[in-house]
Amino acid sequence: MAADFRSPDELTGLMVYDITGDKIGGVEQVYLDDQSGRPEWATVKTGLFGTKETFIPLEGARREENALHIPHAKELVKDAPRLDAEQHLDLAQEQELYQHYGLTHPGQSAGAPEAAGAAGAAGAAGAANKKAAGPMHGEAADTAGTRRTTTGQAGTGSRDAQGGMYGGANAPADTAAGARGVPAGVGSRASMAENEELIRSEEQLRVGTEEHVSGRARLRKVVVTENVTTTVPVSHEEVHVVREPIKEGDRTSAGRARIGEAESEVILHAEEPVVSKEAVAVERVRMETEKVTEQKEVSAEVRKEQIQYDDGHAAKERGDTEGTGH
């Protein structure tokens, strides 16, 4: 069921986001349902420079402030059929979009009076197309279509130049939308052949990396005290008593000998270690970083759609699109 948007003004200019929250683009045009007059499709700018205009369904969409969230992936929107609607979506174009998005084309609601007859069917055919709401304001009312009067007779009318649709809440009673009050299966929501295919989607795990701060490393210089022991060569003087006899020839030079007390003194020298300290540069220390790559396993839960079919004998469920029923 389509979201309850009543006016194109609720959607124009909103930024569209996909099911995962990725931005797709801004809403450009809004297409209305001819029967209800409510928004059903919108176009959004896609592509690298926003040059492509792609249709998105408003079914299941929700608005949050200035954002429009749709239950479809961005890639699915980008791959949508490129349609030149010329302010209209005919049944074939709309069916192509329904198939692309995996949606079921709803049929026309039943309960219309039988008096409408062929005239009502003709009115529905004139209103079968979806029309863009935004660009139609101010255009001349040239496009003619059959529409149904309140008495069930078919008449010919033109599109409301201001509203951009056939009939509507402000239209006169005898110019009500042709699709209203017609039998089931007729009009822009006419029953069509049942879809022969469904689009199956699944979430795929995409893993990337981002860099963040994991720690800090610092170099800090502190002063410590330690004992250092080293060996230093030192010298000193020692006294040795040397006795040497005086020869006969030396006695004359030595003078006349006298007996008495005498004393002789020698000054001794010795080296002592002297300690001094001097600060010298001995080493240069710096920090360098090196990137190391390692393998790390990650896991997450992903969702996927399964295709169920019933061939009348046994219901089966598959995770892919293989198999058909008879």
Give the fold, CATH level 3, of 8-101.
Photosynthetic Reaction Center; Chain H, domain 2 (3.90.50)
Mean pLDDT on 300-309: 89
Tell which wins on pLDDT, 173 or 272.
272
CA distances from 323 to 94, 103, 197 (A): 27, 20, 11
Number of CB atoms found within 10 A of residue 226's CB: 4
**pLDDT of 146 above 60:** no
Q: Average pLDDT over the chain, rounded to whole?
A: 71
Q: Which residues contact 21 (CB under 8 A, 6 or more apart)?
A: 69
So what's the pLDDT on residue 254? 65
Please identify which residue in the block is written with the tokens 């010329």.
86
So what's the pLDDT on residue 252? 72
Q: What separation, in Å, do the N-terminal and C-terminal C-alpha atoms of the chain show?
A: 30
Mean pLDDT on 116-126: 33
**pTM confidence score:** 0.35
**How far is 311 from 326, CA to CA, in rounded Å?**
5
Mean pLDDT on 256-265: 85
Class of residue 16 by CB neighbours under 10 A (exposed 0-12, middle 13-18, buried 19+): buried
